[in-house]
Chain A
Amino acid sequence: SQLAEENSWALSVHEGESVTVNCSYKTSITALQWYRQKSGKGPAQLILIRSNEREKRNGRLRATLDTSSQSSSLSITATRCEDTAVYFCATDDGSSGNKLIFGIGTLLSVKP
């Protein structure tokens, strides 16, 4: 079973709009990471938010973490066509290891 999962399979917005991708996870974590994967490429990290942090920003991106509800969100403002990608949340498995457990991903389409 998935330890981390995004709450939407796919989202579609128009350029300039804002969008939020949500994620829930099932274990105690050290950190949660958001990755983006464009077609034909490997995932690329967007934000790493540690369990003692509540919010992290990176340019147009903002991630939140709520450890009490075991959920996270990634918001993108002023979306661009090049933001079209699959967005994953990923967590450690709560042990001392560093492997990542990925959600299924949310396909975001940004249309002109």
Chain B
Amino acid sequence: NAGVIQTPRHKVTGKGQEATLWCEPISGHSAVFWYRQTIVQGLEFLTYFRNQAPIDDSGMPKERFSAQMPNQSHSTLKIQSTQPQDSAVYLCASSRLGIDTQYFGPGTRLLVL
């Protein structure tokens, strides 16, 4: 079991460019979560899928951020027109359903110049 896989591990973009982050959850897990981690805000919830369906996107900035889960083996987080304040570590986690352990990937460190 390779755990949750996130690619790329590091990404540098220029202001205004698009960034797409990929997550492969643990096989058999039905829930996928995206979080963002910064020094100032800490670990913040962004969005959550259950059985590929979007359940809660209350943490997503309403503009420029979108997430999808086209199949059970991967999810993407897309940031359009990136801004310097989007610089953060984006973490993906997966779990079985219910209140359960969330297994985190290593994160994608995004730097917007």
Same complex: yes
A binding-site residues for B, Cβ under 8 Å: 2, 30-31, 33, 40-45, 48, 50, 88, 90, 92, 97-105
Q: How many chain B residues touch A (Cβ–Cβ < 8 Å)?
A: 28
Classify the secondary structure of A's interface with B: loop
Tell me which residues across on chain B come within 8 A of A43, comparing CB atoms.
Answer: 43, 91, 104
A-B pair number, CB within 8 angstroms: 60
- Distance (whole angstroms) from the CB of A39 to the closest CB of chain B: 11
Q: Please, could you name 26 A-B residue pairs with CB atoms under 8 Å apart, sorted by A? A: A31-B99, A33-B101, A33-B102, A41-B106, A41-B107, A42-B91, A42-B105, A42-B106, A43-B91, A48-B99, A48-B100, A48-B101, A88-B43, A92-B99, A98-B33, A98-B97, A98-B100, A99-B48, A99-B56, A100-B33, A100-B45, A100-B102, A102-B35, A102-B44, A103-B42, A105-B43
